[in-house]
Structure 1
Amino acid sequence: MRAIRIREPGEPEVLEPARIELPPLLPHEVRVRVRASGLNRADLLERRGGHVPQPGTPPGIPGLEYAGVVDAVGAACTLRDVGDPVMGIVGGGGYAEALHVSERETIRVPEGMDLVEAAAIPEAFLTAWDATFRQAGLAPGETLLIHAVGSGVGTAALQLARWAGARVIGTSRTADKLEEARELGLGCAVLTGDESTDWAAEVRAGSPDGRGVDVVLDLVGGGYASRTLETLAQGARWIVVGIPSGREARLDLRGLMMRRASIRGTMLRSRPSEEKAELARSFEDTVLNGFEEGALRPVIDRVFPSEETVEAHRYMESNRNFGKILLAWS
């Protein structure tokens, strides 16, 4: 079958077409004929040699999410049938026209949704929902600060928070992305592109009574840490999901103590299979109806043919996208 392989660590040009064979289907697995694969920042790191592939994934084949149709089921499968449209996350191997995955880690595609559109859901919405609600405990009426609100996870978290009845403040280095986020319902938009701007004060001013935010979904990392601390309300929960601005930070721990705040880190990719399966089952039961009711929708910036994966990586590296970038398999 066709796939996209990393020839060696390097720039986008090291991505090349390949032919690979899948191993025999295990009893609890399904084979999915992939219609579209999602791009993620982790793919860029893996291409450069910065991410070690998960054990059991096809060597040299990046990709963490997919949507497609089940075309074979293992002998012990009871949840899925041939012909079912499904989506989900994988530890690697998503840049391929077929893959094997545990049936419990698959998520049914929302009723009536196109498969290419569905490929923009798994990584962004699972990450946002798990981090913001299951771990940070965002509640109705609370205020959420999203750093990089124009990213795939950012736009997902914005919609989920509004659906749950929370207030949202979003940051971006790009004014255009903030304008697009407003169209998704962002109430308070804060531009962080100018280093001289006291964006922490703007965030606090945008919170109820200027008291600060209850939850921070941090998709930026070290470069924002000291000012993020200034935005926190008493008892705030700060969860770190991405670190494109740096993995290290200087932090006033006394300030953290005085606010009785907590910081937590999370990573979806490295979790054991059973944890991913539990997350998939819970997401299907709890969140999927939001798409079918029209309250939630995947935000797609561009769809590239799989033959243009090099160009897709270049585009993601340019940081011009608002929402997800996808690869479509013909």
Structure 2
Amino acid sequence: MKAIIITQPGPPEVLQLADRPTPVMADNEVLVKVMAAGVNRPDVAQRKGNYPPPAGAPKDIPGLEIAGIITETGSNVQRWKIGDKVCALVTGGGYAEFCNVPEGQCLPVPENLSFAEAASLPETFFTVWSNVFDRANLQPGESLLVHGGSSGIGVAAIQMATALGSTVYVTAGSEEKCIFCEQLGAANAINYKTENFSETILQLTSGKGVNVILDMIGGDYTPLNIKCLADDGRLVMINAMRGKDVQVDLAAVMRKRLNLTGSLLRSRDTGFKSAIAKNLEEHIWPLLASGKIKPVIYKIFPANEASKAHELMESSEHIGKIMLSFEDL
């Protein structure tokens, strides 16, 4: 098969088209002919040599989410059959013509979505569900602050939390991005380049703060997050783009009874990811089918232009997801 490989750690140009053996399935896996794959920041980190894949995942083929057509099924697979259209969360190997996936990590492609739209869902939707709804236990009527509101994670979080009855605030880096987030459903979008988000959140919430914060920034955002969390608030970390070493006001944590937590999804086992898939199919997939939640794709690149897709990702100019198409590879 053809695959986009990381020839060596480095800039986007190290991504090159190459021949690789077609993956061999386990008994509980399906083999998917990949039609589209999502581009995510963990792919960039892996390309740079900063995010090694877990055991069993391809070392030189990035890609954490795909959509396509099942061409083979393992002997223990019960739900899926050859010809089914699925999207899936994978531990790696998504930038390729074929990818093997545990059956529980697959979800049906909604009939109203293209392969590219379906492939834009798994990484961000699994991440948001696991962290915002499972780990932070966001409830209808509560408030959520999402940093990076125009990112793939942000776009998913705005729509999911709003649809399930919460008020969503976001930060974004331009007026254009802020307007887009509010049009998508955010109650307020804060331009972090011109405003102190913590002070603005306290103003918007009459001094109470928000119930949950989903943060991929870390660093100097951390004390500001703690400042604008409500009593019994929950801060969930999923990345630390501005640094992992921070100062925390423990007195504020104790006084407000805060819960500071975080997680990484890629290394979790199949059972954990399959449980998330079941929740998504029950609670979110009907909202995709009805159009209440919609994929937001900024640009689709041919797979052999993966380096350009990574350049765009690192520029942070995009709003929504960046995708690779394998249909014409």
Normalising TM by the smaller chain, what interval?
Answer: over 0.9
Aligned equivalent of 1:251, options 236, 240, 248 = 248
Tell me what 2:264 maps to: 267
Q: Secondary structure of 2:99's match?
A: strand
Aligned equivalent of 1:298, options 289, 295, 298 = 295
> In the aligned structure 1, how far is the partner of 2:223 from the partner of 2:27?
50
> In the aligned structure 1, how far is the partner of 2:28 from the partner of 2:44?
31
TM-score (norm 2): 0.97
What is the root-mean-square deviation of aligned Cα atoms in Å?
A: 1.2
- 170-179 or 4-13: which moved more? 170-179
Q: Is the 8 A contact 1:140 1:165 kept in 2?
A: yes
Q: Which runs of 4+ in 1 moved over 4 A?
A: none
Superposition deviation, residue 133 in structure 1: 0.8
Counterpart residue identity of residue 28, structure 1: N
Report % sequence identity: 37
Tell me what 2:196 maps to: 198
Q: Is the 8 A contact 2:52 2:59 kept in 1?
A: no
Counterpart residue identity of residue 144, structure 2: L
Query: Is residue 144 of structure 2 the alignment partner of residue 147 of structure 1?
Result: no
Question: Structure 1, residues 160-181: CA drift from partner, whole Å, max 9, x if none?
Answer: 1110111111111222211111
Paired residues in the alignment total 327
Question: Structure 1, residues 121-148: CA drift from partner, whole Å, max 9, x if none?
Answer: 1111111121111110111111111111
Q: Is the 8 A contact 1:120 1:300 kept in 2?
A: yes
Question: Structure 1, residues 66-105: CA drift from partner, whole Å, max 9, x if none?
Answer: 0111111112211101111111111111100111111111
Tell me what 1:21 maps to: 21
Tell me what 1:38 maps to: 38
Q: Secondary structure of 2:220's match?
A: helix
Q: Is the 8 A contact 1:7 1:60 kept in 2?
A: yes
Superposition deviation, residue 285 in structure 1: 2.3
> In the aligned structure 2, how far is the partner of 1:198 from the partner of 1:130?
28
Superposition deviation, residue 159 in structure 1: 0.5
Counterpart residue identity of residue 24, structure 1: V
Tell me what 1:76 maps to: 76
Counterpart residue identity of residue 101, structure 2: V
> In the aligned structure 2, how far is the partner of 1:228 from the partner of 1:27?
45
Q: Are the structure 2 counterparts of residues 200 and 261 from structure 1 closer, same or farther at C-alpha, using a change threshold of 3 Å?
A: same
> In the aligned structure 2, how far is the partner of 1:235 from the partner of 1:153?
24
Query: Is residue 108 of structure 2 the alignment partner of residue 108 of structure 1?
Result: yes
> In the aligned structure 1, how far is the partner of 2:33 from the partner of 2:104?
17
Tell me what 1:129 maps to: 129
> In the aligned structure 2, how far is the partner of 1:315 from the partner of 1:57?
25
- 9-18 or 281-290: which moved more? 281-290
Superposition deviation, residue 294 in structure 1: 1.4
> In the aligned structure 1, how far is the partner of 2:114 from the partner of 2:31?
19
> In the aligned structure 2, how far is the partner of 1:198 from the partner of 1:39?
30
> In the aligned structure 1, how far is the partner of 2:260 from the partner of 2:102?
32
- 1:76-95 alignment runs, 5 A limit: 76-95=76-95
Query: Is residue 205 of structure 2 the alignment partner of residue 177 of structure 1?
Result: no
Q: Is the 8 A contact 1:169 1:206 kept in 2?
A: no
Q: Secondary structure of 2:288's match?
A: helix
Q: Is the 8 A contact 2:23 2:99 kept in 1?
A: no
> In the aligned structure 1, how far is the partner of 2:65 from the partner of 2:24?
21
Superposition deviation, residue 112 in structure 1: 2.6
Superposition deviation, residue 25 in structure 1: 2.5
Aligned equivalent of 2:233, options 227, 233, 236 = 236
Superposition deviation, residue 199 in structure 1: 2.4
> In the aligned structure 1, how far is the partner of 2:113 from the partner of 2:106?
16
- 1:267-286 alignment runs, 5 A limit: 267-286=264-283
> In the aligned structure 2, how far is the partner of 1:144 from the partner of 1:14?
38
Counterpart residue identity of residue 238, structure 1: L
Question: Structure 1, residues 288-316: CA drift from partner, whole Å, max 9, x if none?
Answer: 11101211111111100001111111111
Q: Secondary structure of 1:10's match?
A: coil
